[in-house]
Structure 1
Amino acid sequence: MPGLAIHELTLAQFRSHRRAVFAFDGRPVAIWGANGAGKTNILEALSLLSPGRGLRRAGAEELARRPEAVGWKVSAGLRREGVFREIETGAEGLASRMVRIDGKAAPQAALAAVVPMVWLVPAMDRLWIEAAEGRRRFLDRLTLSFAPDHAEASLAYEKAMRQRNRLLKDGSRNAGWYEALEARMAEEGARIQANRAAAVARIVAAQAGAETAFPAGVLTLTGPEGDPQGAGALTAAWAGGRARDLAAGRTVVGPHRADLEAVYAAKGLPAGQCSTGEQKALLLSLVLANARALAAETGLTPVILMDEVAAHLDAGRRRALYDEIAALGAQAFLTGTGPELFEGLGARAQGLEVTETAGISAASERDVP
């Protein structure tokens, strides 16, 4: 039995689930069904037990079942190192999302200390060939798993940068205003950079602990114009670049422009030049390394969510993935279109088949091949 496991999950008026109650025993859970049946909705509900907007990055108002739109609720019971904990989150009507931990109101950030969680979704399959924004979001999710204060630093940095950008768009040349904002940005920006660098180092080191043949990646943090590092360098870069930023109407350099580059180590190829299957395998390797590093540091393997995980993976790579999850001792929730995609998991996992009738999802327990 893992040191962290979700045992009960209840969905009320959530997406396609009018009401659903699930019981889990700590093993990985294989969830299958046709496209649109409501599999991903279960994973999305689980992802809301962690800080942020979940694996689809949806607003609270988007999660309520239609056409009722009366609000939604996700409740979970879990055991963490033998202690039972309860989490409840949801929203009524157009109200903002609430969080309760063990019956008491709590900020979303507090969820990180209760349910460490990592995930992989199909949108990430194009991570290495699309714009840097998606890679920054992926990097910051990894970073947040190690440093819960990373979200606070990012929000403070973004707020100060928006104010600086407003001055730039207005053509202001008031040095005092810029200096005050740049000092705040530099303080938080340096914290963001340090958190990211530490997270990348942890991920790289944890790749060596793989039990199977998942590929290792050489990761590098990059940024424009030499990527100024540290509070002093950031302050100097912004002060010296005000004329350039005034012309652009925005802040051109800083942590908000960072990028994560990856090289497929065995071939020496940038990830973006690898095959689709290799890109997916490398991405899986990083997510598994994230879970492995967290387990080594905290003694708790995080909950793992993997949506449509079999896409672009051959049978051998799927078996390796399932063996890796078993070696981690993780409670993983995996979705796919059919039970054959989970062949080899067998008694190591629970099975759920999800169906949909007239817009309402239902789930039934099944044996895993």
Structure 2
Amino acid sequence: MAGTYVRALSLSHFRSHKRASMALDGRPVALFGPNGAGKTNILEAVSLLSPGRGLRRAAAEEMARRPEALGWKIKAELVTGGRFHELEMGAEAGQSRSLKIDGKPEPQLALAGLARIVWLIPAQDRLWIEGAEGRRRFLDRMTMSFFPDHGEAVLTHEKAMRERNRMLKDMVRDAMWYEAVEAQMSDAAARITRHRAEAVARLTAAQDGAETAFPVAALSLIEGDGSEGLVTADDFATAHMQSRPRDMAAGRSLIGPHRSDLGAVYAVKQTEARLCSTGEQKALLISLILANARALKAETGVAPLVLLDEVAAHLDAGRRAALFDEICALGGQAWMTGTGPELFAELGDRAQAFEITEADGYSAVREWENNQ
């Protein structure tokens, strides 16, 4: 299989799952069960096999099963590009998250070299009508799938900007105090800008070159006031220096990639995404996730893991079938959740199905045969 897939997954005291284990064969995975049974918790565990805080952006202590709060553990057997790895991560009570890859302790960033994972969750359904911060985060997640060091650049920029903002609020006027932190901030800003522009270009190419039942979104990067045309570290350094008086009056940095936004237009209708119907907005999001997966496969030769939480419930039978066909055509492993097995009927035996149940405060996972 020319894709990344989880061959085995086990959870211990993770969210609602006291104990859970799954044996997998690389096919798409359909998880169904009532709301609150723990389906999304399994997707969150899989999302933690990539760098970052997972699809819920939760702190380590939030993932521990309650009320015990004993700490949690995830074990996974991951196959990617024909290579096999054993991953183990977890956190003891009051401790930060730890990671072992093939038995050796590793930093979280080491996951970037193993698995590319893309996801879509219900919390993103309002992406086009809410503030720019959520769209930046959405874009940065897709960008990081192409450039694993993008996350480090974003963190570096945020840390340097916090230091600069502190000096601005303290009304520091000595230029020497600003030069070092602005140099660090400008270098990170140039990398972020370059990465985002390249990611948008790759997503656009992946949409334009695909036969898909989902609408194409014409994407654009919208820079904040004063950031237009800034590309290199020198560009940003000059802009930061010139903007100090204005930034000091505002008490914060007004120029940089932290002011950027992601623009999207429903191409066929020439309508901004924020003005589209709820269904059209969801279809545009699905289209971008699929484009992200296609672009990654075209670049690396390996299909990424795709996580789609409650995606089937928003689609009619025809579009569900089209989505499943595209997922299977990718040749990788997709994890999808829904309330009932009928939502995955169009997949047939192309997928493994698992029923997730909840009773007496415990979540249980049981493989379900499609002919049941």
* 1:159-198 mapped onto 2 (5 Å cutoff): 159-198=159-198
Instruction: Determine if the alignment matches structure 1 residue 332 to structure 2 residue 334.
Output: yes
**Aligned 8 A contact 2:2 2:301 in 1:** no
* 1:1-369 mapped onto 2 (5 Å cutoff): 1-228=1-228, 229-230=230-231, 231-368=233-370
- Aligned-residue RMSD, C-alpha: 1.1
**Aligned 8 A contact 1:112 1:148 in 2:** yes
Alpha-carbon distance in 2 for matches of 1:192, 1:218: 21
* Per-residue Cα deviation, 1:46-93 (whole angstroms, up to 9, x for no partner): 011111100000000000001110100011002223322111111011
Alpha-carbon distance in 1 for matches of 2:370, 2:335: 13
Matched residue of 1:345: which SS? helix
Shift, 1:330, TM fit: 1.8
**Aligned 8 A contact 1:211 1:324 in 2:** no
Matched residue of 1:127: which SS? coil
Alpha-carbon distance in 2 for matches of 1:224, 1:153: 19
What count of residue pairs does the alignment treat as equivalent? 369
**Aligned 8 A contact 1:353 1:364 in 2:** yes
**Aligned 8 A contact 2:60 2:91 in 1:** yes
Alpha-carbon distance in 2 for matches of 1:35, 1:89: 27
Q: Which runs of 5+ in 1 are unaligned?
A: none
* Per-residue Cα deviation, 1:241-300 (whole angstroms, up to 9, x for no partner): 111111111111211111000000010000001111111111111111101011011010
- The runs of at least 4 consecutive aligned structure 1 residues that moved more than 3 Å come to none
Alpha-carbon distance in 2 for matches of 1:145, 1:310: 24
Shift, 1:211, TM fit: 3.5
TM-score by length of 1: 0.98
Greater shift in the superposed pair: 225-234 or 152-161:
225-234
**Aligned 8 A contact 1:43 1:333 in 2:** yes
Paired AA for residue 364 in structure 1: R
Shift, 1:237, TM fit: 1.8
Alpha-carbon distance in 1 for matches of 2:226, 2:270: 23
* Per-residue Cα deviation, 1:159-181 (whole angstroms, up to 9, x for no partner): 11000000011111111111221
**Aligned 8 A contact 1:342 1:368 in 2:** no
Matched residue of 1:252: which SS? coil
**Aligned 8 A contact 1:150 1:195 in 2:** yes
Residue identity (%): 63
TM-score by length of 2: 0.97
Matched residue of 1:351: which SS? strand
Greater shift in the superposed pair: 8-17 or 216-225:
216-225
Shift, 1:226, TM fit: 4.6
